[in-house]
Chains A and B, each alone.
Chain A
């Protein structure tokens, strides 16, 4: 366990320009490589099969989302957040709408907050399932991906039932949800919670004590806790090294202080520990969802309609002149939050996802910064890769859990 009574030591990041000597070879891996999880390119300097230096080259999926955020009104940007980390869209929505709600000083009703938690935790499971399937596939366990993608379908069905979309959900809105919860949705989620622990046991049977899996993951890609903190890692990359930082516990948002769950921590900081941490996180997510389903009120508002920053209810728009005018202004001009700046972070499935918004009092954000967790976490790849074997590079890329849409934004 790390001792915080002393300052965390500084890790000098070694930068090596790629000038191979006679014994070395520069190998270009990617951007079109099946195990780089998208369009990541890694320039490797090899001596034999040992990696001497590693330089990740990113930006192949850069779409300028932050620039687009500075030209859209606040509510128009929510669909764009889906496209940053496209395997965990509701969590991105959540981070953005919470930042805007903090800027405006509004809070979603209790029922909406519970449903946001349920959707965020389902997203975490879905994202971890994609990670587990592809990570195992990279290392050579082909069959795991068939099981994980089978079970991810159940979560996508829940999303589809709720909002009509499976991948780019555009689920959350500023102020809550404007759609009513479908009446059979709680039962669908309950059914999933009953089923999913069995599925986790299946994955664990395939991997946790599998000698090939152990040989490929144990002792590979070790990050010491001091290094993890100094690199600014978050999420399972940080907790796998044994540092207890989970935004849900450290700075509870929504109603995470009302549910009980534990933060799994690793001890060695290697690929295997991060695997165990994520497996346990899925179990804890199921715990959170079950508690939410018990506590969530069955009736009540889903949107903070009393706030001037929130779109008025559809029924009133159609029946009262006052609300029709407000709705018109809200759609045509948008709403203007107070001047100021906020940073709000949520615990995304990959780490701390933060939105930093500077408002100048106009309906368009003056500056919208997305602190994406995988961009920062990917920096640890050169550290982990030094001295590793070439075949371990795919395990190291997989263990960081990157989605290039989120890295490049």
Chain B
């Protein structure tokens, strides 16, 4: 067998640490990992490093405490909430159903960190609105798209879909790509039936 003709340009060393601001690739050496593990030994679950990005998985009850700890700790100062979103893990594992993903950024230290927690259908996640005002709409969108309830959110209602949307939460994996039914405007005839494909994915 000869060598394969095509191979990835970069396999072992990532080109993404050339700038020098992306932090060490060994997740265990990341200061946030060490400090969170020391401070929350029970809630800390695992740490994953991929392409110079560090992800810490914590128990869902401790999410707000961990994020607040990262925000206020003088060595970390993750003071900028970049994003809150969720992933429906229906095809990837049994339980819990969802992952809530929080992207944090430290303006003084110029580092990113990702915090994850698993949450099942019917469970709640502590809201981050008491520590980040910007979490308000991001959590509302998460609720709208996945149906994840954020406990302590002051105004949890749909944001992108209409308030009277009764078809569930569209970014769940079991929601069909074209919805459950066609919308017919009052006074109009029903639209022609369309071929409604379900979202077909190649198996993992």
Chain A positions near chain B (C-beta within 8 angstroms): 4-5, 7-8, 10-13, 15, 58-59, 62, 64, 66-68, 70-71, 102-107, 227, 229-233, 243-245, 250-253, 257, 304, 306-309, 322, 326, 340-343, 345, 352, 354, 356, 358, 360-364, 366-367, 369, 371, 375-376, 378-379, 383, 408-409
Contacts and interface: CB of A to CB of B under 8 A. Distances in A.
26 contacts: A4-B79, A4-B107, A7-B77, A12-B133, A15-B155, A59-B158, A66-B171, A67-B175, A105-B9, A106-B9, A230-B79, A232-B81, A232-B82, A232-B135, A244-B107, A341-B55, A354-B83, A356-B103, A360-B92, A363-B202, A364-B201, A366-B91, A371-B85, A375-B141, A379-B133, A383-B133
B53 A343 contact: yes
Contacts of B15: 105, 107
B182 to A, nearest CB: 15
Interface of B: 5-11, 14-16, 19, 21-22, 50-51, 53, 55, 71-72, 74, 77, 79-83, 85, 87-88, 91-92, 101, 103, 107-108, 110, 112, 114, 129-138, 141, 145, 154-155, 158-162, 170-171, 175, 177, 199, 201-202, 204
A67 B145 CA distance: 10
A229 B82 CA distance: 10
Contact of B82 (A15, A71, A308, A345): A345
Contact of A308 (B6, B134, B160): B6
A79 to B, nearest CB: 17
At the interface, is chain A mostly helix, strand, loop or mixed? loop
Contacts of B91: 360, 366
Contacts of B137: 375-376, 378-379
Given A354-B103, A356-B103, A366 B87 contact: yes
B105 to A, nearest CB: 8
A243 to B, nearest CB: 7
Contacts of B155: 15
A103 B51 CA distance: 7
